[in-house]
Amino acid sequence: MSSNLLRFTDFVKQNIGATYLDIAEYFSVEIAQLANECNIDWESSKSKIAWDGEKNRSPNVNGITSADKGRIFIWAEANNYTQDSGSFTYPYLSFQNMRNTLAKPGRKFHALRLLYDKYEQYKQTRVVPTRSNTIDPIALEKQQAIVQADAKRLAKRQRNVQAKEAVIFEEMLPLSNPGVFSAYLQYAKKLQQIAEQFDIRLGRDKHDYFTAFVLRNIQGDFKALQRIYHNKPAAWDDNKRCTWGVDPTGLMTILGDVNDTTSVIYICEGLATGLAMVLATGKPVAICLNAYNMQFVSAEITQVYPHIKRVHVADNDNDKPHFGNTGVHAAAVAVKKNGGWVFVPKIKSGTDICDLYNSQGLDELKRQINHSDSQYFNGRFSQNVCGMFNYIHDQYSDTIGQAK
Domain ranges of the chain: 8-135, 175-403
Mean pLDDT of the chain: 88
Q: What is the CATH number of domain 175-403?
A: 3.40.1360.10
Burial 66-91 (b: 16+ CB within 10 A, else e): ebbbbbbbbbbbbeebeeeebebbbb
From CA 266, how far away is CA 313, in angstroms rounded? 7
Q: What is the mean pLDDT of residues 323-344?
A: 87
Least confident of 139-143, 265-269, 344-348, 380-384: 380-384
Amino acid at 200: I
Q: Is residue 307 scored above 60 in pLDDT?
A: yes
The string of pLDDT tens digits covering residues 181-231 is: 999 999 999 999 999 999 999 999 999 999 999 999 999 999 999 999 999
Average pLDDT of the residues in 43-61 = 89
Q: Is the pLDDT of residue 135 over 80?
A: no
Residues 258 and 285 sit within 8 Å (Cβ to Cβ)? no
Average of pLDDT values for 89-112? 89
pLDDT, average across residues 166-194: 97
Which of 231-240, 250-259, 381-390 reaches the highest mean pLDDT?
A: 250-259
Task: Output Rg (C-alpha) for the chain, integer angstroms.
Answer: 25
